[in-house]
Each structure stands twice: as C-alpha cells, then as structure tokens.
C-alpha cells in the first residue's frame, strides 16, 4: 500500500477522533478543596429547583468564609442570608421576623468553611465522574444527620456549576449556577443580618 493510500485510509479515523467529545477525568478531592478555598468572593445568577418542583431565580453572593446571600427575583420576595454563624430566611409573609438557625447545622457550611478539606475522614460519601462533570457528595462527618451536599464541577479549569442540598428530613433543593464572577469586592453590608432585619421592620 502506498503512503498516499495509507494517509487516505487514516485521515477519516483521525478526523473522527478529533470530533469525538473529550471525556474528562474525575477531578481529585485535593484539587476541588484547593478551588473552593481559593473562591473568596463570587457573584452570579442562579436557578433554584425546589423539592415540590417549583423554580426560582435570583442573584447569589458568596464571601468566604461563612457568608452567602440569595436575592430572589420577582415574584419571589424572599431573602436568604448566612453570616456570623447564622442562617436567616426572610419571608414577607411572616410578621415574626426571619427564621434563624446555626449555619453549622446546614450542609452549606461545608463549602463556606474557612478551610475546606474534602479529604477529611468520612466527609465525602461519593466521588466520581460521568465523563463531563465531577460530582462529590459530602456531609459533616460528626453530624451526618444534618444532611448532605452534592457538588457538581466541570474541569479545565475547575468550576462549581451546581449543588444539591439534602436536609436531615431528606428534602432536596437544587441550585444551578450561572457564570460566577470571582475575585471581586463585595461589601460586608450585603451579609449584615441585623441591618436586613431593620430594613424589613423586624
């Protein structure tokens, strides 16, 4: 077989290989921990899928460690904040002030911790790839009854795309992230629960 015929035979195979989607490897836990620890501030749009199938949208603000803010778009009027070790849920239908509980009792505290270490014993209960994304399921190893968080990442570069929180009763809430703007400056006042209570008249 001449060189020309060999090249003619191999060319379609080479083009097919180039056209095939590249399957990503499972991102190691050390790399995922590094990414989360480097994520000091972030801002972006989100879509929330609730356990009853309803969907909400809004803007998310993260300022690690320990601070997050979910501003919901109309017709939703709720606001969810975490700061100072507390989570506050503001609901305009309530006249008794926001519901408040310790951040440490929610799976979200895992990614808002000062030092995220997914390699900690008994923290990660699932870790794998579907060829496109890497998924990690994590819980508080000391309090697994608080629930878990399932984090979905894409690679090259590593980016957090989604999380699913399962609370202690088994209720799931999914948050799908838009493109996050990271590394910017976010004012501390965005995460001031007491100020927000005054704004809501509580």
The DSSP line for 65-120 is TTEEEEEEPTT---EEEEETTEEEEE-TT-SS--EEEEGGGSTTHHHHSSS--TTS
pTM over 0.95: no
Over the Cα atoms of the chain, what is R_g? 21
Residue 127 near residue 32 (C-beta atoms within 8 A)? no
Residue 92 near residue 196 (C-beta atoms within 8 A)? no
pLDDT at 200: 83
pLDDT at 23: 55
Length in residues, the chain: 202
pLDDT at 24: 65
Q: Residue 199 phi/psi, 5° resolution?
A: -65, -30
Q: Name residues of the chain where pLDDT drops below 50.
A: 1-21
Give me the long-range contacts of 166-175 (CB less than 8 A, separation at least 24): 166/107, 167/106, 167/107, 171/51, 172/51, 173/48, 173/49, 173/50, 173/51, 174/48, 174/49, 175/46, 175/47, 175/48, 175/49, 175/60
| The CATH number of domain 22-199 is 3.40.50.300 | no
């Amino acid at each position: 077989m001449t060189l020309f015929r060999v090249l003619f035979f191999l060319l379609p195979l080479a083009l097919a290989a180039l056209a095939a989607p590249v399957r990503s490897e499972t991102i190691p836990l050390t790399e995922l921990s590094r990414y989360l620890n480097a994520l000091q501030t972030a801002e972006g749009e989100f879509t929330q899928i609730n356990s009853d199938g309803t969907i909400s949208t809004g803007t998310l603000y993260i300022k690690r460690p320990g601070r997050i803010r979910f501003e919901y778009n109309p017709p939703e009027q709720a606001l969810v904040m975490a700061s100072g070790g507390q989570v506050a849920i503001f609901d305009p239908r309530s006249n008794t002030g926001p519901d408040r509980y310790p951040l440490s009792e929610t799976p979200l505290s895992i990614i808002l911790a000062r030092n995220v270490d997914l390699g900690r014993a008994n923290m990660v209960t699932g870790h794998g790839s579907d060829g496109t994304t890497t998924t990690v399921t994590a819980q508080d190893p000391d309090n697994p009854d608080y629930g878990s968080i399932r984090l979905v990442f894409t690679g090259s570069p590593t980016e957090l795309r989604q999380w699913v929180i399962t609370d202690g009763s088994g209720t799931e809430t999914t948050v799908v992230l838009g493109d996050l703007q990271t590394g910017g400056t976010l004012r501390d006042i965005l995460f001031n629960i007491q100020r927000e209570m005054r704004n809501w008249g509580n």
